[in-house]
A and B are shown apart, each in its own frame.
Chain A
Amino acid sequence: MNALSVRGLTKTYANGVEALKGVDLDVEQGDFFALLGPNGAGKTTLIGIITSLVNKSGGEARVFGYDIDRELEAAKSCIGIVPQEINFNMWESPFTIVVNQAGFYGIERKVARLRAEKYLKQLQLWDKRGGMSRGLSGGMKRRLMIARALMHEPRLLILDEPTAGVDIEIRRSMWDFLREINASGTTIILTTHYLEEAETLCRNIAIINGGRIVERDRMSSLLRRLHVETFVLNLRDPLAAAPALPGYVTRLVDDRTLEVEVSKDETLNDIFARLTALGIEVLSMRNKVNRLEEIFMRLVEGRGAEERGAAFEPVAAAAPGPLAAGARR
Protein backbone atom coordinates (compact mmCIF):
# COMPACT_ATOMS: atom_id res chain seq x y z
CA MET A 1 0.00 0.00 0.00
CA ASN A 2 1.15 3.53 -0.69
CA ALA A 3 1.51 5.81 2.29
CA LEU A 4 0.79 8.70 -0.04
CA SER A 5 -0.71 8.73 -3.48
CA VAL A 6 -1.28 11.99 -5.33
CA ARG A 7 -2.83 12.35 -8.77
CA GLY A 8 -3.14 15.46 -10.91
CA LEU A 9 -2.85 17.78 -7.95
CA THR A 10 -3.15 21.44 -8.90
CA LYS A 11 -3.14 24.63 -6.90
CA THR A 12 -3.68 28.15 -8.16
CA TYR A 13 -3.58 30.83 -5.49
CA ALA A 14 -5.96 33.78 -5.45
CA ASN A 15 -3.21 36.01 -6.88
CA GLY A 16 -3.04 33.76 -9.94
CA VAL A 17 0.19 31.98 -9.03
CA GLU A 18 0.10 28.35 -10.17
CA ALA A 19 1.97 26.59 -7.39
CA LEU A 20 1.17 23.05 -8.52
CA LYS A 21 0.55 22.12 -12.15
CA GLY A 22 -0.66 18.54 -11.99
CA VAL A 23 1.50 16.63 -9.55
CA ASP A 24 1.49 12.81 -9.58
CA LEU A 25 3.40 11.16 -6.77
CA ASP A 26 3.47 7.85 -4.91
CA VAL A 27 5.32 7.21 -1.69
CA GLU A 28 5.46 3.59 -0.57
CA GLN A 29 4.65 2.55 2.98
CA GLY A 30 7.81 2.38 5.07
CA ASP A 31 9.82 4.57 2.71
CA PHE A 32 12.21 7.33 3.72
CA PHE A 33 11.43 9.72 0.90
CA ALA A 34 13.07 12.99 -0.11
CA LEU A 35 10.97 15.70 -1.70
CA LEU A 36 13.39 18.29 -2.96
CA GLY A 37 13.04 21.48 -4.89
CA PRO A 38 14.18 25.09 -4.90
CA ASN A 39 12.32 27.77 -2.96
CA GLY A 40 8.90 28.35 -4.47
CA ALA A 41 8.90 25.03 -6.32
CA GLY A 42 5.67 23.86 -4.65
CA LYS A 43 6.94 21.58 -1.85
CA THR A 44 5.23 23.39 0.99
CA THR A 45 2.04 23.82 -1.04
CA LEU A 46 2.00 20.08 -1.72
CA ILE A 47 2.52 19.30 1.96
CA GLY A 48 -0.06 21.94 2.88
CA ILE A 49 -2.69 20.26 0.71
CA ILE A 50 -1.92 16.81 2.12
CA THR A 51 -2.25 18.14 5.67
CA SER A 52 -5.29 20.30 4.76
CA LEU A 53 -3.61 23.60 5.55
CA VAL A 54 -4.03 24.62 1.91
CA ASN A 55 -7.15 24.11 -0.22
CA LYS A 56 -6.37 22.33 -3.47
CA SER A 57 -7.65 23.54 -6.83
CA GLY A 58 -7.88 20.10 -8.42
CA GLY A 59 -6.72 16.51 -8.35
CA GLU A 60 -6.81 13.96 -5.57
CA ALA A 61 -4.68 12.76 -2.71
CA ARG A 62 -4.85 9.61 -0.61
CA VAL A 63 -3.08 8.88 2.64
CA PHE A 64 -2.87 5.13 3.32
CA GLY A 65 -5.81 4.78 0.97
CA TYR A 66 -7.94 7.43 2.70
CA ASP A 67 -9.16 10.08 0.27
CA ILE A 68 -8.60 13.56 1.73
CA ASP A 69 -11.88 14.72 0.15
CA ARG A 70 -14.09 11.95 1.51
CA GLU A 71 -12.22 10.53 4.53
CA LEU A 72 -10.34 13.56 5.76
CA GLU A 73 -10.42 12.72 9.46
CA ALA A 74 -9.04 9.22 8.88
CA ALA A 75 -6.39 10.57 6.50
CA LYS A 76 -5.32 13.27 8.96
CA SER A 77 -5.06 10.82 11.83
CA CYS A 78 -2.31 8.99 9.88
CA ILE A 79 -0.15 12.10 9.42
CA GLY A 80 2.32 13.80 11.71
CA ILE A 81 3.70 17.08 10.42
CA VAL A 82 6.82 19.00 11.37
CA PRO A 83 6.38 22.31 9.55
CA GLN A 84 9.03 24.59 8.21
CA GLU A 85 8.09 27.50 10.46
CA ILE A 86 7.87 27.35 14.24
CA ASN A 87 4.14 27.08 14.94
CA PHE A 88 3.59 26.33 18.58
CA ASN A 89 2.38 28.67 21.30
CA MET A 90 5.54 30.28 22.64
CA TRP A 91 3.82 31.02 25.96
CA GLU A 92 3.05 27.40 26.68
CA SER A 93 5.46 24.85 28.08
CA PRO A 94 6.79 22.01 25.89
CA PHE A 95 4.94 19.51 28.08
CA THR A 96 1.61 21.33 27.66
CA ILE A 97 2.14 21.68 23.90
CA VAL A 98 2.75 17.99 23.28
CA VAL A 99 0.02 16.78 25.66
CA ASN A 100 -2.54 19.09 24.03
CA GLN A 101 -1.48 17.96 20.58
CA ALA A 102 -2.15 14.36 21.58
CA GLY A 103 -5.59 15.47 22.77
CA PHE A 104 -6.38 16.88 19.33
CA TYR A 105 -5.86 13.35 18.01
CA GLY A 106 -8.15 11.82 20.61
CA ILE A 107 -5.50 10.49 22.98
CA GLU A 108 -6.49 10.47 26.66
CA ARG A 109 -4.46 12.81 28.86
CA LYS A 110 -3.17 9.95 31.01
CA VAL A 111 -1.67 8.27 27.95
CA ALA A 112 -0.57 11.60 26.51
CA ARG A 113 1.42 12.43 29.65
CA LEU A 114 3.31 9.13 29.41
CA ARG A 115 4.06 9.69 25.73
CA ALA A 116 5.11 13.25 26.43
CA GLU A 117 7.69 11.98 28.89
CA LYS A 118 8.89 9.36 26.40
CA TYR A 119 9.32 11.68 23.42
CA LEU A 120 10.58 14.70 25.33
CA LYS A 121 13.23 12.46 26.90
CA GLN A 122 14.15 10.91 23.56
CA LEU A 123 14.51 14.34 22.02
CA GLN A 124 16.46 15.63 25.03
CA LEU A 125 13.83 18.17 26.04
CA TRP A 126 12.66 16.65 29.31
CA ASP A 127 14.67 19.10 31.41
CA LYS A 128 12.96 21.96 29.58
CA ARG A 129 9.43 20.60 29.85
CA GLY A 130 8.08 23.13 32.33
CA GLY A 131 9.37 26.49 31.09
CA MET A 132 7.92 28.72 28.41
CA SER A 133 8.75 27.43 24.94
CA ARG A 134 9.92 30.84 23.79
CA GLY A 135 13.01 30.28 25.93
CA LEU A 136 14.11 27.25 23.91
CA SER A 137 17.01 27.45 21.46
CA GLY A 138 16.37 27.09 17.72
CA GLY A 139 17.42 23.45 17.72
CA MET A 140 15.24 22.69 20.75
CA LYS A 141 12.24 24.30 19.06
CA ARG A 142 12.74 22.07 16.03
CA ARG A 143 13.01 19.00 18.26
CA LEU A 144 9.89 20.03 20.14
CA MET A 145 7.99 20.10 16.84
CA ILE A 146 9.24 16.57 16.10
CA ALA A 147 8.11 15.39 19.55
CA ARG A 148 4.74 17.04 19.01
CA ALA A 149 4.32 15.37 15.62
CA LEU A 150 5.05 11.95 17.14
CA MET A 151 2.57 12.19 20.01
CA HIS A 152 -0.19 10.37 18.15
CA GLU A 153 2.36 7.92 16.69
CA PRO A 154 1.59 8.68 13.05
CA ARG A 155 2.08 6.21 10.23
CA LEU A 156 3.31 9.00 7.94
CA LEU A 157 5.68 11.65 9.25
CA ILE A 158 6.21 14.70 7.06
CA LEU A 159 9.24 16.79 7.89
CA ASP A 160 9.49 20.15 6.16
CA GLU A 161 13.09 21.25 6.61
CA PRO A 162 13.38 19.85 10.14
CA THR A 163 17.06 20.63 10.59
CA ALA A 164 17.11 24.19 9.28
CA GLY A 165 19.32 26.26 11.54
CA VAL A 166 20.34 23.28 13.66
CA ASP A 167 24.03 22.75 14.45
CA ILE A 168 25.87 19.77 12.97
CA GLU A 169 26.02 17.68 16.15
CA ILE A 170 22.29 17.97 16.84
CA ARG A 171 21.51 17.48 13.16
CA ARG A 172 23.35 14.19 13.11
CA SER A 173 21.65 12.97 16.27
CA MET A 174 18.32 13.96 14.69
CA TRP A 175 19.27 11.88 11.64
CA ASP A 176 19.85 8.85 13.87
CA PHE A 177 16.53 9.44 15.58
CA LEU A 178 14.67 9.72 12.28
CA ARG A 179 16.33 6.54 10.99
CA GLU A 180 15.08 4.72 14.10
CA ILE A 181 11.56 6.04 13.62
CA ASN A 182 11.64 4.93 9.99
CA ALA A 183 13.07 1.53 10.96
CA SER A 184 10.16 1.06 13.37
CA GLY A 185 7.72 1.30 10.45
CA THR A 186 6.87 4.97 10.07
CA THR A 187 6.97 6.31 6.53
CA ILE A 188 8.90 9.57 6.35
CA ILE A 189 8.73 12.31 3.74
CA LEU A 190 11.55 14.80 4.12
CA THR A 191 12.06 18.14 2.45
CA THR A 192 15.38 19.77 3.04
CA HIS A 193 17.82 22.19 1.50
CA TYR A 194 20.70 20.15 2.95
CA LEU A 195 21.13 17.73 0.07
CA GLU A 196 23.68 15.73 2.00
CA GLU A 197 20.88 15.06 4.47
CA ALA A 198 18.58 13.74 1.75
CA GLU A 199 21.35 11.64 0.22
CA THR A 200 22.28 10.18 3.59
CA LEU A 201 18.78 9.41 4.86
CA CYS A 202 16.46 8.79 1.94
CA ARG A 203 15.97 5.75 -0.24
CA ASN A 204 13.74 7.40 -2.83
CA ILE A 205 13.52 10.91 -4.12
CA ALA A 206 11.34 13.27 -6.08
CA ILE A 207 12.43 16.67 -7.30
CA ILE A 208 9.75 19.28 -7.81
CA ASN A 209 10.33 22.40 -9.81
CA GLY A 210 7.90 25.00 -11.11
CA GLY A 211 4.95 23.06 -9.69
CA ARG A 212 5.82 19.81 -11.47
CA ILE A 213 7.66 16.66 -10.46
CA VAL A 214 10.71 16.73 -12.72
CA GLU A 215 12.41 13.64 -11.32
CA ARG A 216 11.32 10.57 -9.36
CA ASP A 217 13.64 7.65 -8.75
CA ARG A 218 15.55 5.58 -6.25
CA MET A 219 18.29 7.69 -4.69
CA SER A 220 20.96 5.18 -5.75
CA SER A 221 19.67 5.07 -9.35
CA LEU A 222 19.56 8.84 -9.54
CA LEU A 223 23.09 9.22 -8.26
CA ARG A 224 24.33 6.64 -10.75
CA ARG A 225 22.93 8.75 -13.55
CA LEU A 226 25.38 11.52 -12.83
CA HIS A 227 27.81 11.08 -15.71
CA VAL A 228 30.38 13.62 -14.76
CA GLU A 229 31.81 14.50 -11.37
CA THR A 230 34.23 17.29 -10.63
CA PHE A 231 37.04 16.62 -8.18
CA VAL A 232 39.12 19.28 -6.47
CA LEU A 233 42.77 18.31 -5.94
CA ASN A 234 45.04 20.11 -3.49
CA LEU A 235 48.60 20.09 -4.80
CA ARG A 236 51.88 20.00 -2.90
CA ASP A 237 53.71 22.39 -5.24
CA PRO A 238 52.34 25.42 -7.07
CA LEU A 239 51.59 25.27 -10.80
CA ALA A 240 51.74 28.09 -13.30
CA ALA A 241 49.08 26.60 -15.58
CA ALA A 242 46.63 23.71 -15.63
CA PRO A 243 48.37 20.54 -16.85
CA ALA A 244 47.18 19.07 -20.13
CA LEU A 245 45.52 15.72 -19.42
CA PRO A 246 44.19 14.41 -22.76
CA GLY A 247 40.56 13.26 -22.38
CA TYR A 248 39.96 15.28 -19.21
CA VAL A 249 38.81 18.85 -18.60
CA THR A 250 41.10 20.53 -16.09
CA ARG A 251 41.06 23.99 -14.59
CA LEU A 252 43.45 25.68 -12.20
CA VAL A 253 41.48 27.45 -9.49
CA ASP A 254 44.63 28.84 -7.87
CA ASP A 255 48.27 27.78 -8.09
CA ARG A 256 47.77 24.84 -5.72
CA THR A 257 44.16 23.86 -6.50
CA LEU A 258 43.24 21.89 -9.58
CA GLU A 259 39.74 20.88 -10.71
CA VAL A 260 39.33 17.80 -12.88
CA GLU A 261 36.09 16.61 -14.49
CA VAL A 262 35.86 12.82 -14.53
CA SER A 263 33.18 10.87 -16.36
CA LYS A 264 31.77 7.79 -14.68
CA ASP A 265 33.49 5.56 -17.30
CA GLU A 266 36.92 6.79 -16.29
CA THR A 267 39.00 5.78 -13.28
CA LEU A 268 40.78 8.01 -10.83
CA ASN A 269 43.81 5.72 -11.05
CA ASP A 270 44.39 6.93 -14.60
CA ILE A 271 44.34 10.56 -13.55
CA PHE A 272 46.73 9.95 -10.68
CA ALA A 273 49.05 8.00 -12.96
CA ARG A 274 49.15 10.89 -15.43
CA LEU A 275 49.66 13.50 -12.71
CA THR A 276 52.45 11.40 -11.21
CA ALA A 277 54.08 11.16 -14.62
CA LEU A 278 54.02 14.95 -14.81
CA GLY A 279 55.61 15.17 -11.35
CA ILE A 280 52.50 16.65 -9.74
CA GLU A 281 51.87 15.46 -6.19
CA VAL A 282 48.35 15.50 -4.76
CA LEU A 283 47.94 16.14 -1.03
CA SER A 284 44.17 15.63 -0.79
CA MET A 285 41.04 15.39 -2.91
CA ARG A 286 37.33 16.08 -2.53
CA ASN A 287 34.18 16.28 -4.63
CA LYS A 288 33.54 19.83 -5.78
CA VAL A 289 29.88 19.51 -4.80
CA ASN A 290 27.75 16.81 -3.25
CA ARG A 291 26.61 14.39 -5.98
CA LEU A 292 22.92 14.94 -5.30
CA GLU A 293 23.53 18.66 -5.30
CA GLU A 294 25.12 18.36 -8.73
CA ILE A 295 22.07 16.52 -10.10
CA PHE A 296 19.69 18.86 -8.34
CA MET A 297 21.34 21.94 -9.78
CA ARG A 298 21.34 20.50 -13.26
CA LEU A 299 17.65 19.71 -12.99
CA VAL A 300 16.34 22.88 -11.45
CA GLU A 301 18.57 25.38 -13.18
CA GLY A 302 16.98 24.35 -16.48
CA ARG A 303 20.20 23.74 -18.31
CA GLY A 304 19.87 22.86 -21.97
CA ALA A 305 19.06 19.36 -23.08
CA GLU A 306 22.43 18.97 -24.74
CA GLU A 307 24.32 19.77 -21.61
CA ARG A 308 22.12 17.46 -19.56
CA GLY A 309 22.69 14.77 -22.11
CA ALA A 310 26.41 15.14 -21.70
CA ALA A 311 26.53 15.16 -17.95
CA PHE A 312 23.29 13.71 -16.68
CA GLU A 313 20.92 11.13 -18.03
CA PRO A 314 17.32 12.35 -17.90
CA VAL A 315 14.59 10.15 -16.52
CA ALA A 316 13.33 8.91 -19.89
CA ALA A 317 16.67 7.26 -20.55
CA ALA A 318 17.16 5.99 -17.02
CA ALA A 319 17.34 2.33 -16.08
CA PRO A 320 13.67 1.55 -15.43
CA GLY A 321 13.67 0.56 -11.76
CA PRO A 322 10.23 -0.26 -10.34
CA LEU A 323 9.81 3.15 -8.75
CA ALA A 324 11.03 5.05 -11.77
CA ALA A 325 8.57 3.11 -13.89
CA GLY A 326 5.79 3.90 -11.44
CA ALA A 327 6.61 7.56 -11.51
CA ARG A 328 6.23 7.70 -15.28
CA ARG A 329 2.75 6.19 -15.34
Chain B
Amino acid sequence: MSAVTLPAAAPPLRLGVVRWIGFKTIVIREYGRIIRIWGQTIVPPVVTATLYFVIFGSLIGRRVGAMDGFDYLQYIAPGLIMMQVITNSYGNVVASFFGAKFGKHVEEMLVSPLPSWVIVAGYAAGGVVRGLLVGAAVTVVSLFFAHLHVQHLAVIIAAVLLTSLIFALGGFLNALFAKNFDQVNWIPTFVLTPLTYFGGVFYSISLLPEWARRVSFANPILHMVNAFRYGFLGTSDVNLGVAFALMVLAAVALFATAVMLLERGAGIRD
Protein backbone atom coordinates (compact mmCIF):
# COMPACT_ATOMS: atom_id res chain seq x y z
CA MET B 1 0.00 0.00 0.00
CA SER B 2 1.77 3.11 -1.21
CA ALA B 3 1.78 6.82 -0.52
CA VAL B 4 -1.32 8.96 -0.83
CA THR B 5 -1.87 12.65 -1.23
CA LEU B 6 -5.08 14.09 0.07
CA PRO B 7 -6.04 17.74 0.28
CA ALA B 8 -5.87 19.26 3.75
CA ALA B 9 -8.88 21.45 3.05
CA ALA B 10 -11.86 20.59 0.88
CA PRO B 11 -13.00 23.01 -1.85
CA PRO B 12 -16.31 24.78 -1.23
CA LEU B 13 -19.27 22.47 -1.65
CA ARG B 14 -21.30 23.13 -4.81
CA LEU B 15 -24.60 21.72 -3.63
CA GLY B 16 -26.36 21.91 -6.99
CA VAL B 17 -23.58 20.00 -8.73
CA VAL B 18 -23.33 17.42 -5.95
CA ARG B 19 -27.08 16.80 -6.10
CA TRP B 20 -27.20 16.51 -9.89
CA ILE B 21 -24.24 14.13 -10.07
CA GLY B 22 -25.63 12.16 -7.12
CA PHE B 23 -29.01 11.86 -8.83
CA LYS B 24 -27.38 10.71 -12.07
CA THR B 25 -25.29 8.19 -10.15
CA ILE B 26 -28.36 6.60 -8.55
CA VAL B 27 -30.10 6.40 -11.93
CA ILE B 28 -27.02 4.94 -13.63
CA ARG B 29 -26.66 2.41 -10.82
CA GLU B 30 -30.33 1.43 -11.10
CA TYR B 31 -30.03 1.13 -14.88
CA GLY B 32 -26.93 -1.02 -14.41
CA ARG B 33 -28.87 -3.26 -12.05
CA ILE B 34 -31.77 -3.61 -14.50
CA ILE B 35 -29.41 -4.58 -17.30
CA ARG B 36 -27.22 -6.80 -15.11
CA ILE B 37 -30.19 -8.94 -14.08
CA TRP B 38 -32.15 -8.60 -17.33
CA GLY B 39 -33.32 -12.20 -16.95
CA GLN B 40 -35.28 -11.08 -13.87
CA THR B 41 -36.19 -7.55 -14.90
CA ILE B 42 -36.98 -7.49 -18.62
CA VAL B 43 -37.66 -11.03 -19.81
CA PRO B 44 -40.38 -12.21 -17.36
CA PRO B 45 -42.79 -9.29 -18.02
CA VAL B 46 -42.35 -9.73 -21.74
CA VAL B 47 -43.10 -13.47 -21.45
CA THR B 48 -46.13 -12.77 -19.22
CA ALA B 49 -47.48 -10.14 -21.62
CA THR B 50 -46.98 -12.49 -24.56
CA LEU B 51 -49.02 -15.15 -22.76
CA TYR B 52 -51.79 -12.62 -22.08
CA PHE B 53 -51.83 -11.63 -25.75
CA VAL B 54 -51.94 -15.27 -26.88
CA ILE B 55 -54.55 -16.49 -24.41
CA PHE B 56 -56.80 -13.48 -23.75
CA GLY B 57 -56.23 -11.89 -27.11
CA SER B 58 -55.90 -14.52 -29.80
CA LEU B 59 -57.68 -17.50 -28.20
CA ILE B 60 -60.42 -16.08 -25.97
CA GLY B 61 -60.51 -12.59 -27.51
CA ARG B 62 -61.85 -13.85 -30.82
CA ARG B 63 -64.96 -15.09 -29.08
CA VAL B 64 -65.35 -11.91 -27.02
CA GLY B 65 -65.84 -9.73 -30.06
CA ALA B 66 -65.57 -5.95 -30.13
CA MET B 67 -65.08 -3.83 -27.01
CA ASP B 68 -66.14 -0.17 -27.20
CA GLY B 69 -66.10 -0.58 -30.98
CA PHE B 70 -62.54 -1.92 -31.14
CA ASP B 71 -61.07 -5.33 -31.79
CA TYR B 72 -60.57 -6.97 -28.34
CA LEU B 73 -56.81 -7.34 -28.82
CA GLN B 74 -56.54 -3.70 -29.79
CA TYR B 75 -58.61 -2.78 -26.74
CA ILE B 76 -56.58 -4.72 -24.16
CA ALA B 77 -53.11 -3.99 -25.61
CA PRO B 78 -52.72 -0.56 -23.93
CA GLY B 79 -53.98 -2.03 -20.64
CA LEU B 80 -51.54 -4.94 -20.82
CA ILE B 81 -48.68 -2.56 -21.53
CA MET B 82 -49.71 -0.38 -18.60
CA MET B 83 -50.09 -3.40 -16.33
CA GLN B 84 -46.44 -4.31 -16.90
CA VAL B 85 -45.34 -0.69 -16.49
CA ILE B 86 -47.12 -0.54 -13.10
CA THR B 87 -45.77 -3.87 -11.86
CA ASN B 88 -42.22 -3.25 -12.97
CA SER B 89 -41.90 0.35 -11.83
CA TYR B 90 -43.12 -0.72 -8.42
CA GLY B 91 -41.11 -3.93 -8.35
CA ASN B 92 -37.88 -2.27 -9.35
CA VAL B 93 -37.82 0.23 -6.53
CA VAL B 94 -39.19 -2.05 -3.84
CA ALA B 95 -36.64 -4.75 -4.66
CA SER B 96 -33.71 -2.44 -5.14
CA PHE B 97 -34.26 -0.21 -2.11
CA PHE B 98 -35.23 -3.06 0.19
CA GLY B 99 -32.17 -4.97 -1.05
CA ALA B 100 -30.04 -1.93 -0.22
CA LYS B 101 -31.62 -1.78 3.24
CA PHE B 102 -31.20 -5.49 3.80
CA GLY B 103 -27.59 -5.52 2.57
CA LYS B 104 -26.94 -2.24 4.41
CA HIS B 105 -25.48 -0.59 1.29
CA VAL B 106 -28.22 2.03 1.57
CA GLU B 107 -25.75 3.51 4.08
CA GLU B 108 -23.51 4.46 1.15
CA MET B 109 -26.09 7.10 0.27
CA LEU B 110 -27.22 7.94 3.78
CA VAL B 111 -23.71 8.99 4.85
CA SER B 112 -23.22 11.04 1.67
CA PRO B 113 -24.23 14.70 1.36
CA LEU B 114 -27.21 13.82 -0.84
CA PRO B 115 -30.45 15.17 0.63
CA SER B 116 -33.38 12.80 1.01
CA TRP B 117 -35.30 14.25 -1.94
CA VAL B 118 -32.43 13.46 -4.31
CA ILE B 119 -32.27 9.86 -3.08
CA VAL B 120 -36.05 9.44 -3.50
CA ALA B 121 -35.93 11.10 -6.93
CA GLY B 122 -33.04 8.87 -8.01
CA TYR B 123 -34.79 5.66 -7.01
CA ALA B 124 -38.08 6.84 -8.53
CA ALA B 125 -36.30 7.66 -11.79
CA GLY B 126 -34.75 4.17 -11.72
CA GLY B 127 -38.24 2.71 -11.39
CA VAL B 128 -39.46 4.86 -14.29
CA VAL B 129 -36.55 3.66 -16.42
CA ARG B 130 -37.49 0.03 -15.78
CA GLY B 131 -41.18 0.78 -16.38
CA LEU B 132 -40.38 2.43 -19.70
CA LEU B 133 -37.96 -0.29 -20.81
CA VAL B 134 -40.49 -3.01 -20.06
CA GLY B 135 -43.33 -0.92 -21.50
CA ALA B 136 -41.38 -0.48 -24.74
CA ALA B 137 -40.58 -4.20 -24.92
CA VAL B 138 -44.23 -5.18 -24.32
CA THR B 139 -45.36 -2.61 -26.91
CA VAL B 140 -43.10 -4.27 -29.47
CA VAL B 141 -44.58 -7.67 -28.56
CA SER B 142 -48.12 -6.27 -28.83
CA LEU B 143 -47.43 -5.19 -32.42
CA PHE B 144 -47.21 -8.86 -33.37
CA PHE B 145 -50.79 -9.32 -32.20
CA ALA B 146 -52.61 -6.02 -32.66
CA HIS B 147 -52.54 -2.91 -34.78
CA LEU B 148 -51.83 0.01 -32.49
CA HIS B 149 -52.40 3.49 -33.84
CA VAL B 150 -51.07 6.43 -31.94
CA GLN B 151 -53.83 9.01 -31.62
CA HIS B 152 -52.39 11.32 -28.99
CA LEU B 153 -48.65 10.81 -28.41
CA ALA B 154 -48.40 13.45 -25.67
CA VAL B 155 -51.18 11.75 -23.71
CA ILE B 156 -49.44 8.38 -24.03
CA ILE B 157 -46.12 9.78 -22.83
CA ALA B 158 -47.64 11.78 -19.99
CA ALA B 159 -49.79 8.86 -18.81
CA VAL B 160 -46.99 6.31 -18.87
CA LEU B 161 -44.50 8.64 -17.18
CA LEU B 162 -46.89 9.66 -14.41
CA THR B 163 -48.12 6.12 -13.81
CA SER B 164 -44.60 4.78 -13.72
CA LEU B 165 -43.52 7.54 -11.33
CA ILE B 166 -46.47 6.96 -9.01
CA PHE B 167 -45.80 3.26 -8.69
CA ALA B 168 -42.07 3.72 -8.38
CA LEU B 169 -42.73 6.03 -5.43
CA GLY B 170 -45.22 3.51 -4.03
CA GLY B 171 -42.50 0.86 -4.26
CA PHE B 172 -40.13 3.15 -2.38
CA LEU B 173 -42.62 3.57 0.47
CA ASN B 174 -43.21 -0.18 0.59
CA ALA B 175 -39.45 -0.77 0.79
CA LEU B 176 -39.05 1.80 3.56
CA PHE B 177 -41.56 0.03 5.79
CA ALA B 178 -40.81 -3.57 4.82
CA LYS B 179 -38.97 -5.49 7.49
CA ASN B 180 -38.62 -8.73 5.55
CA PHE B 181 -39.08 -10.16 2.06
CA ASP B 182 -42.67 -11.23 2.80
CA GLN B 183 -43.64 -7.60 3.36
CA VAL B 184 -42.08 -6.69 0.02
CA ASN B 185 -44.62 -8.97 -1.66
CA TRP B 186 -47.74 -8.10 0.32
CA ILE B 187 -48.70 -4.90 -1.49
CA PRO B 188 -48.09 -6.23 -5.04
CA THR B 189 -50.03 -9.40 -4.27
CA PHE B 190 -52.93 -8.12 -2.20
CA VAL B 191 -53.32 -4.56 -3.48
CA LEU B 192 -51.71 -3.97 -6.86
CA THR B 193 -52.79 -7.13 -8.63
CA PRO B 194 -56.51 -6.86 -7.69
CA LEU B 195 -56.58 -3.14 -8.49
CA THR B 196 -54.94 -3.78 -11.85
CA TYR B 197 -57.32 -6.59 -12.80
CA PHE B 198 -60.30 -4.47 -11.76
CA GLY B 199 -58.75 -1.40 -13.38
CA GLY B 200 -60.24 -1.82 -16.82
CA VAL B 201 -57.30 -3.63 -18.38
CA PHE B 202 -59.45 -6.40 -19.83
CA TYR B 203 -62.85 -4.74 -20.07
CA SER B 204 -64.68 -1.47 -20.39
CA ILE B 205 -66.49 -0.45 -17.20
CA SER B 206 -69.54 0.27 -19.39
CA LEU B 207 -70.12 -3.50 -19.12
CA LEU B 208 -70.49 -3.26 -15.35
CA PRO B 209 -73.68 -2.61 -13.36
CA GLU B 210 -74.08 0.92 -12.06
CA TRP B 211 -72.82 0.23 -8.50
CA ALA B 212 -69.72 -1.54 -9.77
CA ARG B 213 -69.03 1.28 -12.19
CA ARG B 214 -69.20 3.79 -9.32
CA VAL B 215 -66.84 1.66 -7.21
CA SER B 216 -64.46 1.35 -10.17
CA PHE B 217 -64.02 5.11 -10.33
CA ALA B 218 -62.35 4.92 -6.93
CA ASN B 219 -59.67 2.69 -8.42
CA PRO B 220 -56.74 4.90 -9.47
CA ILE B 221 -55.47 2.34 -11.95
CA LEU B 222 -58.70 2.65 -13.94
CA HIS B 223 -57.88 6.31 -14.58
CA MET B 224 -54.28 5.55 -15.56
CA VAL B 225 -55.14 2.71 -17.91
CA ASN B 226 -57.92 4.70 -19.56
CA ALA B 227 -55.77 7.80 -20.02
CA PHE B 228 -53.12 5.63 -21.66
CA ARG B 229 -55.69 3.83 -23.78
CA TYR B 230 -57.09 7.17 -24.91
CA GLY B 231 -53.69 7.98 -26.41
CA PHE B 232 -53.96 4.91 -28.66
CA LEU B 233 -57.68 4.52 -29.30
CA GLY B 234 -59.07 7.98 -28.66
CA THR B 235 -61.66 6.53 -26.28
CA SER B 236 -61.82 6.45 -22.50
CA ASP B 237 -64.17 5.37 -19.67
CA VAL B 238 -63.00 8.28 -17.51
CA ASN B 239 -62.66 12.02 -17.77
CA LEU B 240 -59.12 12.70 -18.98
CA GLY B 241 -58.75 15.92 -16.99
CA VAL B 242 -59.74 14.17 -13.77
CA ALA B 243 -57.40 11.27 -14.58
CA PHE B 244 -54.36 13.53 -15.05
CA ALA B 245 -55.24 15.68 -12.04
CA LEU B 246 -55.42 12.53 -9.90
CA MET B 247 -52.11 11.28 -11.25
CA VAL B 248 -50.30 14.57 -10.63
CA LEU B 249 -51.75 14.82 -7.12
CA ALA B 250 -50.82 11.23 -6.34
CA ALA B 251 -47.25 11.71 -7.62
CA VAL B 252 -46.75 14.89 -5.57
CA ALA B 253 -48.28 13.38 -2.43
CA LEU B 254 -46.26 10.17 -2.66
CA PHE B 255 -43.03 12.04 -3.37
CA ALA B 256 -43.57 14.37 -0.40
CA THR B 257 -44.44 11.45 1.88
CA ALA B 258 -41.41 9.43 0.79
CA VAL B 259 -39.05 12.38 1.31
CA MET B 260 -40.53 13.17 4.71
CA LEU B 261 -40.24 9.57 5.89
CA LEU B 262 -36.70 9.17 4.59
CA GLU B 263 -35.74 12.44 6.24
CA ARG B 264 -37.06 11.11 9.54
CA GLY B 265 -35.26 7.86 8.95
CA ALA B 266 -38.42 5.76 9.05
CA GLY B 267 -37.50 2.12 8.66
CA ILE B 268 -33.81 2.82 8.16
CA ARG B 269 -32.44 4.82 11.09
CA ASP B 270 -32.52 4.08 14.79
Contact = CB atoms under 8 A, between A and B. Distances in A.
Given A54-B270, A106-B19, A77 B10 contact: yes
Interface string A71-102: 01110111101010111111100001100110
Given A108-B21, A122-B2, A153-B7, A88 B105 contact: yes
Best-surrounded residue of A13, A76, A96, A173 (most CB of chain B within 10 A): A76
A14 B270 CA distance: 8
Contacts of A186: 6
A223 interface: no
A76 B112 contact: yes
A106 B21 contact: yes
Interface string B67-107: 00000000000000000000000000000000110011101
A52 interface: yes
Contacts, number: 132
Contacts of B112: 76, 101, 104-105
A18 interface: no
Contact of A180 (B4, B100, B110): B4
Nearest to B36: A91
A22 interface: no
B111 A52 contact: yes
Interface in A115-135: 119, 121-124
Nearest to A71: B13
Nearest to B115: A73
A167 to B, nearest CB: 14
B214 interface: no
A103 interface: yes
A89 B25 CA distance: 15
A177 interface: yes
Interface string A175-186: 011001100111
B4 A89 contact: no
B22 A81 contact: no
Interface string A133-149: 00000000000000010
Interface string B1-30: 111111111100111011111101110110
A85 B3 CA distance: 26
Given A91-B36, A106-B19, A79 B24 contact: no
A64 to B, nearest CB: 8
Contacts of A79: 111
Given A74-B13, A176-B1, A85 B104 contact: yes
Nearest to B14: A106
A155 interface: yes
A106 B103 contact: no
Contact of B21 (A83, A103, A123, A177): A103
Contacts of A180: 1-4
Can you list the 5 inter-chain pairs with the closest CB atoms, starting with the nearest? A103-B25, A106-B18, A185-B8, A104-B112, A177-B1
